[in-house]
């Protein structure tokens, strides 16, 4: 009796040479997406932004292709896989390196979207303060929860400013606190998700911005991000007009630093060269949308802190004013 053999997908049947060519073509495509993601058009469904949101995860696709190439013993596919490996390493390899030792002129900041559904603001505030940062930037602050954060942080962070649903707590004196208008034109209800304040640190004066850009939605037609993109442009214009030399931006920007929607910011501010710090969603983080950026300062690295009662994971970064 003829032995029964399992039949895999159609592309895995047939001559080994053909199978190797398919895997090699997929490897080249993956490398192209990693190296030239900016060439993917955004005109239809914001496909470019969608790709850039999950760009690091193409490393997982490369690992799957490698496993298939080993199973099929395809030298052609394994050779082609050197391209996406090199592209991923060039783009994301530095993020895996250590950030280095703290220096005497360093500041530490914490960025966290605390969630408007957070059941325990007090515990969240204490968890953030345990990292002993100089600055704590918060988003989704409900009016009823602000007193809990004020009380929990008062001893170590006597200076704070709250405008709308964003707030900044500082160990150092704050002046010139004001709201920053980043509201997109399509939003008509009361909406304030940006603030700016001057922080007087032992190492010099800096302008601190706290922002929460509009959320995006994944729909059958693609990524709905028009409001976020417009808000990013408005925030970029505010940063460009900032007269203070040193600038630090902390916020839930609802975008990764590779997303072209943040070009108005990433073209003016430096981003952390070390650390992935995936921050959303807290249950299984797949992207870092909570960002720390700076001007005339070096952001040495970014990392996550233990999870709180929010749907975001807090992140912390070390910054040196230049």
Q: Concatenate the DSSP letters of all residues of 195-211 into one string.
A: EEEEEEETTEEEEEEEE
Q: Both tokens of residue 28?
A: 């080249």
- Domain ranges (residues) in the chain: 10-96, 106-321
Residues, the chain: 322
Paired sense of beta strands 106-113 and 174-179, if any: unpaired
Place of tokens 């706290």: 210
Question: What is the model's pTM?
Answer: 0.90
Residue 274 and residue 75 in contact, taking contact as beta carbons nearer than 8 Å: no
pLDDT digits (tens, 9 = 90+) for 112-154: 999 999 999 999 999 999 999 999 999 999 999 999 999 999 9
pLDDT digits (tens, 9 = 90+) for 298-314: 999 999 999 999 999 99
pLDDT band for position 44 (50/70/90)? confident
pLDDT band for position 104 (50/70/90)? low
pLDDT digits (tens, 9 = 90+) for 225-237: 999 999 999 999 9
pLDDT digits (tens, 9 = 90+) for 92-101: 999 998 877 7
pLDDT band for position 291 (50/70/90)? very high
| CATH architecture, domain 106-321 | 4-Layer Sandwich (3.60)
Question: What pLDDT, on a 0 to 100 scale, did the predictor assign at position 147?
Answer: 98
What is the rounded (10 degree) CA torsion for 95, 299, 47, 54? 30
pLDDT at 2 over 50: no
pLDDT at 269 over 80: yes
DSSP helix/strand/coil, 282: coil
pLDDT band for position 1 (50/70/90)? very low
Residue 191 and residue 164 in contact, taking contact as beta carbons nearer than 8 Å: yes
Average pLDDT in the 68-86 region? 94
Question: How many angstroms separate the Cα of 120 from the Cα of each of 4, 117, 145, 309?
Answer: 60, 9, 9, 6
């Amino acid at each position: 009796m003829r032995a029964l053999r399992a039949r895999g997908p159609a592309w895995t049947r047939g001559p080994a040479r053909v199978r190797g060519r398919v895997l090699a073509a997929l490897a080249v495509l993956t490398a192209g997406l990693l190296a030239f993601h900016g060439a993917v058009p955004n005109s239809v469904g914001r496909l470019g932004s969608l790709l850039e949101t999950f760009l690091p995860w193409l490393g997982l696709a490369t690992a799957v292709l490698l496993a298939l190439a080993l199973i099929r013993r395809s030298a052609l596919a394994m050779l082609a896989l050197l391209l996406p490996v090199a592209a991923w390493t060039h783009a994301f390899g530095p993020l895996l390196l250590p950030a280095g030792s703290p220096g005497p002129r360093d500041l530490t900041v914490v960025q966290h979207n605390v969630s408007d559904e957070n059941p325990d603001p007090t515990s969240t505030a204490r968890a953030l303060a345990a990292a002993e940062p100089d600055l704590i930037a918060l988003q989704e602050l409900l009016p009823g929860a602000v007193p809990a954060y004020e009380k929990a942080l008062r001893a170590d962070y006597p200076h704070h400013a709250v405008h709308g649903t964003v707030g900044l707590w500082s160990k150092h004196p704050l002046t010139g606190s004001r709201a920053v208008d980043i509201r997109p034109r399509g939003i008509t209800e009361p909406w304030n998700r940006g603030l700016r304040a001057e922080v007087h640190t032992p190492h010099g004066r800096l302008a601190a911005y706290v922002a929460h850009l509009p959320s995006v939605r994944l729909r059958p037609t693609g990524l709905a991000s028009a409001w976020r993109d417009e808000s990013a442009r408005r925030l970029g214009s505010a940063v460009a007009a900032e007269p203070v030399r040193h600038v630090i931006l902390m916020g839930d920007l609802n975008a990764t630093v590779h997303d072209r929607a943040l070009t108005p910011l990433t073209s003016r501010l430096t981003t952390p060269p070390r650390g992935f710090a995936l921050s959303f969603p807290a249950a299984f983080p797949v992207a870092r949308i909570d960002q720390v950026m700076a001007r005339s300062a070096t952001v040495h690295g970014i990392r996550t802190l233990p999870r709180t009662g929010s749907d975001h994971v807090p992140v912390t970064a070390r910054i040196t004013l230049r």
